[in-house]
Structure 1
């Protein structure tokens, strides 16, 4: 058997409460932590179908529905959203993993799931700290949380505000998760236009984390989010003293303005939506509205754009990126309709709202992105099912390039892009429409492979745990990570 080799930054430090300042203690008092021990439903106790009206304030605890799936995928557990997140406004979002815990972002805070038994996950704690959209990553004793909705101040008990208010706050929050059942607020940093997403980038020496903050859509009426906003924000977290986290750089990635938008282009670039990094290779891929880019991140505080591509025919919004293990390919996603539209149908077709597969050719100093093909799920969805390519990760196999990916109400797809020009789906998991009469935002926001299982964060549905049994990917179970942030891609031995 080939033993998995997990290559990580050396000398990663775990930080304890003693490293936090008195200010952190004051901030922690504003955090409302809701203990939780709710257990998941399992395949042995299947749910009943739920019919949801157009406007829902609370979601029933027995949220269940009809599920279809391929023969090689088996649903193991479903754990619906728990109070106070059991409503249609508390969207479940991204996932980060550490040991036996999954940290799931939410527009109103985040949830810590105990996944030591993937067939019976439980809620370890819930943190109420609104801000949207709650993108999360974890590093040792720290959790980073993106706030993209203006708030009246930086605390967890702040009120909604507006970007037109010069005193409004949005940016990145830092929490202490040394005790996952009692997360505590450490500090925060305001960033221009907030933090729609962020990407954890460990430094080369294991002394600090960098956070690449992506945000977009500036306006002349927004004092803290003015155009042109052709940049990202870089926040540095000293691991020995996380309370001293600070903004250290705001590199301009598009000095010439990026995609100009109509009538010359498809979508104007005014910032980035998401960045995926491959730290071992000092490489990053940015999905930046109207542009897809490669970056050299050797100097963590001064990333350099080395390649830039556009697709003004089929891509509406460059949303996210995933490398293959060798770092010789990038899968970019197109979030046509912003995640709220029904785009997985015959009318939209097979190339819009899809993935674009690019090979990386040329040299490290002068790389090129060469388009090879599109991939979109082959199952048409209904008019009340928002569906488009969304967040996923590699399955760490010995042979080939395989990925699991969320498609909102299109469900979860496992697909093969080993042949860049001929990708194909090899498995799926798909629920019926959340509401058969009305188009409501629901479905899988993120679907990731972690330590032998697939975990999905449902916008409305809560946490799903799946298992795939397929000879092409079964060897991936040998790879065990102790920490996994999907937008910070690790390297594994083939």
Structure 2
């Protein structure tokens, strides 16, 4: 998959965040009050976090929980209600937005106003601000419309560059607030912007009325991260404005209807980068502003009231918990209803988090701390209180850091006696798919159990926890990545090597209906994002400082007790982080590509390593190209071979076919000191040249473009076929379009079959006996959640090279599938 940017703090990535983000927002059940929070985030390209609980709300007796990103189903606002036994069940899933791009997620912000629900959009074009839903008397929801924030694309050929790439992968976030008859939507970017909509009494639709203009705009100050609106007054937080953050107040002239800036409220305490304005709320002539980073992140909430005499907002109260704690981030979220308020402190107790309840005193001028809500089973990093909402008899708080970023919410109830139950109950997404072993499941009438299929049988399925990934950990949330295979030449046992955080899980698949988890090829503080095998040794690369660990797989012969943990026999430190690993098994050379973060990166191109002695890998050379999208010279993936194809000019040479993001580069790397580029080729509708594989006669090269479906440049899954009979003149001779809009990922060829992992559509098999006219002959959908949109979660790699015919497929948030295509 393409490289994604990591950011240690959210404000460095405003407007550049991907669909798997950990976020916070707050809201109230009162129709005129909403506050929104987008907090600290660390995003890893390996981690497909769901962010469940990043925004929450209460509608009558129901609760709303947002899951903004793909992973175990589409991004959606989930509506929960109590069943007859008192448990919470999903009653509705609001996430099928016909007006938006296929597969996009949602921004982590919702607003509730009476029977209306507004869910912030996240399309890359920033055309839409929010999606509008309404609940009827039977508690059913319908999608009314989407609020247009920008303009529709003009249909022309857009400029495609790194900025456009990040706009697709990390669309600018939006936030939303509502007070009933008005909706306020912000788009967070370089300078941000906020738009007011009013509902037409005639048509019932929402009409844009104003775009806020502010007096002191600063780039990337977070303008719009938090919003609130009440009648003719609105407040917009800018938590990175100036030294400590600020909040803008806007007011509407009742005669002209014009909105103007009325005040700029600066942080009352001068602590740098303290996030004043991270959360805001307004109720008539009262404004609440969160200041979670003040005084060693022992946060506060500051209350301001309107002073008619001075015609300004005056500080009224500083709200803090009874016992303040360093790093508690108190004030990161809050919600109030009538005379009570909940305040989130997601950093307290080593990041377990907590919720503080306050009530107004009898005079109504001071908030008094009453009690602390908590839930048993919280762990460091859960960040409970990142979002909060309160209703008459139920309160809900998000813990988007729980389960490694998958997220949970805590629910607190107030029974008839009027006293809150301060000990809450956890609510999370449905559990992982069940393990399937002990006997094959035939593909019959288009189904193999719950999985859609055609001409592919299911031999076994191991979910994440059966691959040694621990529930509740970052490892589990990270899911799995690449998969490769090894056959022991002495015992003929077949093993799957499955990439994950912390190393690679080893699975004995010799009996494919009874796979056995053998253990872990472990690496400290690293990942196994891409795996290859040479001379009975496993090599892999990953993010952080993984380097290239080397494992002698023959050690498995002496293992009798499972699971076992094997540490590396050697480690190549010529690189630190890399995105993919290429090995020419004929010559004994490895090529980490997309390297960064340490060592000799070769500009992200072909970093050549001699591995003929596997445990003493040595640097051999570099090839840095001129092509690239993330940066010039970056190679995303490649196939390198001892050339035996039809071009006589290059017989016996070592040739690499490099997917360089913006071009297919063919290069002669026989002389490691002087590699020679042969050709570069591109094509119409190019978005991101990702990976490819040669036919066995080396005449054709099948290639995938990872982002053409996601950007709309291809309406269905597209595979490109190149005739490379003349290496210096590759010719695009065919394009194959699949039956869904799913994004294509890694593909491999064995004989006259091509096996491709197509994320949400799972495995696809093409008959390529006529190379210029491929035909789909089978598929197996590894993500049984409905439609198959273009997004970057699902089937990652399909490995077809076992002599037994067993096909192994890794699916990021599901696990490992063992399959058998028809005829095998």
TM-score (norm 1): 0.65
Alpha-carbon distance between aligned partners in 1 of 2:787 and 2:729, rounded to the nearest angstrom: 44
Q: What is residue 540 of structure 2 aligned with on the other side?
A: 145
Secondary structure, aligned partner of 1:131: strand
Secondary structure, aligned partner of 1:250: strand
Q: What is residue 685 of structure 2 aligned with on the other side?
A: 314
Per the TM alignment, residue 403 of structure 1 is displaced from its structure 2 partner at its CA by 0.5
Alpha-carbon distance between aligned partners in 1 of 2:604 and 2:73, rounded to the nearest angstrom: 44
Which residue of the other structure, out of 460, 468, 471, is the alignment partner of 1:77?
Answer: 460
Per the TM alignment, residue 407 of structure 1 is displaced from its structure 2 partner at its CA by 0.4
**Contact between 1:53 and 1:435, CA under 8 Å: does it hold in 2?**
no
Alpha-carbon distance between aligned partners in 2 of 1:61 and 1:350, rounded to the nearest angstrom: 30
Alpha-carbon distance between aligned partners in 1 of 2:682 and 2:469, rounded to the nearest angstrom: 42
Answer yes or no: is 1:215 the counterpart of 2:594. yes
**Contact between 1:134 and 1:146, CA under 8 Å: does it hold in 2?**
yes
Alpha-carbon distance between aligned partners in 1 of 2:607 and 2:497, rounded to the nearest angstrom: 24
CA separation of 1:224/1:176 partners in 2, compared to 1, >3 Å: closer, same or farther?
A: closer
Answer yes or no: is 1:278 the counterpart of 2:641. yes
CA separation of 1:137/1:429 partners in 2, compared to 1, >3 Å: closer, same or farther?
A: same
Q: What is residue 731 of structure 2 aligned with on the other side?
A: 370
Answer yes or no: is 1:430 the counterpart of 2:776. no
Answer yes or no: is 1:447 the counterpart of 2:798. yes
Secondary structure, aligned partner of 1:229: helix
Per the TM alignment, residue 85 of structure 1 is displaced from its structure 2 partner at its CA by 5.1
Matches within 5 A, 1:224-263: 229=603, 231-239=605-613, 242-252=614-624, 254=625, 257-258=626-627
**Contact between 1:146 and 1:198, CA under 8 Å: does it hold in 2?**
yes
Secondary structure, aligned partner of 1:57: helix
Alpha-carbon distance between aligned partners in 2 of 1:419 and 1:270, rounded to the nearest angstrom: 34
Per the TM alignment, residue 247 of structure 1 is displaced from its structure 2 partner at its CA by 1.9
Answer yes or no: is 1:132 the counterpart of 2:504. no
Which residue of the other structure, out of 427, 430, 450, is the alignment partner of 1:66?
Answer: 450
Per the TM alignment, residue 447 of structure 1 is displaced from its structure 2 partner at its CA by 0.8
CA separation of 1:123/1:367 partners in 2, compared to 1, >3 Å: closer, same or farther?
A: same
Matches within 5 A, 1:297-376: 297-299=669-671, 303-311=675-683, 313-336=684-707, 343=710, 349-350=714-715, 354-362=718-726, 367-376=728-737
Alpha-carbon distance between aligned partners in 2 of 1:427 and 1:305, rounded to the nearest angstrom: 37
Per the TM alignment, residue 327 of structure 1 is displaced from its structure 2 partner at its CA by 0.3
**Contact between 2:481 and 2:530, CA under 8 Å: does it hold in 1?**
no
Looking at secondary structure, tell me which structure has more strand per residue. 2
Which residue of the other structure, out of 83, 90, 115, is the alignment partner of 2:479?
Answer: 90
CA separation of 1:406/1:115 partners in 2, compared to 1, >3 Å: closer, same or farther?
A: same
CA separation of 1:223/1:429 partners in 2, compared to 1, >3 Å: closer, same or farther?
A: closer
Alpha-carbon distance between aligned partners in 1 of 2:702 and 2:809, rounded to the nearest angstrom: 19
Q: What is residue 577 of structure 2 aligned with on the other side?
A: 194
Secondary structure, aligned partner of 1:88: helix
Per the TM alignment, residue 369 of structure 1 is displaced from its structure 2 partner at its CA by 0.7
CA separation of 1:439/1:78 partners in 2, compared to 1, >3 Å: closer, same or farther?
A: same
Per the TM alignment, residue 98 of structure 1 is displaced from its structure 2 partner at its CA by 2.2
**Contact between 1:63 and 1:461, CA under 8 Å: does it hold in 2?**
no
Alpha-carbon distance between aligned partners in 1 of 2:532 and 2:511, rounded to the nearest angstrom: 22
Per the TM alignment, residue 439 of structure 1 is displaced from its structure 2 partner at its CA by 9.9
Alpha-carbon distance between aligned partners in 1 of 2:526 and 2:579, rounded to the nearest angstrom: 10
Per the TM alignment, residue 325 of structure 1 is displaced from its structure 2 partner at its CA by 0.9
Q: What is residue 294 of structure 1 aligned with on the other side?
A: 666
Residues 313-356 of structure 1: per-residue CA shift (max 9 Å, x gap): 3221111111001100001111117xxxx739xx55446x6221
Per the TM alignment, residue 279 of structure 1 is displaced from its structure 2 partner at its CA by 2.9
Matches within 5 A, 1:157-196: 169-180=545-556, 181=559, 182=564, 183-192=566-575, 194-196=577-579
Secondary structure, aligned partner of 1:112: strand
**Contact between 1:376 and 1:389, CA under 8 Å: does it hold in 2?**
no
**Contact between 1:196 and 1:215, CA under 8 Å: does it hold in 2?**
yes
Per the TM alignment, residue 435 of structure 1 is displaced from its structure 2 partner at its CA by 8.6
User: Please, which moves more after superposition, 438-447 or 280-289?
Assistant: 438-447
Alpha-carbon distance between aligned partners in 1 of 2:670 and 2:516, rounded to the nearest angstrom: 40
Secondary structure, aligned partner of 1:178: helix
How many equivalent residue pairs? 361
Alpha-carbon distance between aligned partners in 2 of 1:52 and 1:63, rounded to the nearest angstrom: 22
CA separation of 1:445/1:176 partners in 2, compared to 1, >3 Å: closer, same or farther?
A: same
Secondary structure, aligned partner of 2:659: strand
Secondary structure, aligned partner of 2:778: strand
Secondary structure, aligned partner of 2:499: strand
Alpha-carbon distance between aligned partners in 1 of 2:754 and 2:598, rounded to the nearest angstrom: 41
Per the TM alignment, residue 427 of structure 1 is displaced from its structure 2 partner at its CA by 0.9
Q: What is residue 404 of structure 1 aligned with on the other side?
A: 755
User: Please, which moves more after superposition, 230-239 or 321-330?
Assistant: 230-239
Alpha-carbon distance between aligned partners in 2 of 1:297 and 1:114, rounded to the nearest angstrom: 36
TM-score (norm 2): 0.40
Alpha-carbon distance between aligned partners in 2 of 1:52 and 1:251, rounded to the nearest angstrom: 40
Residues 21-62 of structure 1: per-residue CA shift (max 9 Å, x gap): xxxxxxxxxxxxxxxxxxxxxxxxxxxxx8899867286472
CA separation of 1:458/1:117 partners in 2, compared to 1, >3 Å: closer, same or farther?
A: same
Alpha-carbon distance between aligned partners in 2 of 1:94 and 1:434, rounded to the nearest angstrom: 22
Alpha-carbon distance between aligned partners in 2 of 1:223 and 1:95, rounded to the nearest angstrom: 26
CA separation of 1:271/1:135 partners in 2, compared to 1, >3 Å: closer, same or farther?
A: same
CA separation of 1:310/1:438 partners in 2, compared to 1, >3 Å: closer, same or farther?
A: closer
RMSD of Structure 2 on Structure 1 (CA)? 3.4
Q: What is residue 467 of structure 1 aligned with on the other side?
A: 820
**Contact between 2:687 and 2:713, CA under 8 Å: does it hold in 1?**
no
Q: What is residue 31 of structure 1 aligned with on the other side?
A: none
Higher RCO (CA 8 Å, separation ≥ 6 residues): 1
Q: What is residue 164 of structure 1 aligned with on the other side?
A: none
**Contact between 2:685 and 2:713, CA under 8 Å: does it hold in 1?**
no
**Contact between 2:661 and 2:689, CA under 8 Å: does it hold in 1?**
yes
Alpha-carbon distance between aligned partners in 2 of 1:119 and 1:279, rounded to the nearest angstrom: 36
**Contact between 1:446 and 1:456, CA under 8 Å: does it hold in 2?**
yes
CA separation of 1:223/1:109 partners in 2, compared to 1, >3 Å: closer, same or farther?
A: closer
CA separation of 1:96/1:85 partners in 2, compared to 1, >3 Å: closer, same or farther?
A: farther
Unaligned runs of 5+ in 2: 1-71, 77-399, 405-430, 437-448, 489-493, 645-653
**Contact between 1:235 and 1:248, CA under 8 Å: does it hold in 2?**
yes
CA separation of 1:432/1:198 partners in 2, compared to 1, >3 Å: closer, same or farther?
A: closer
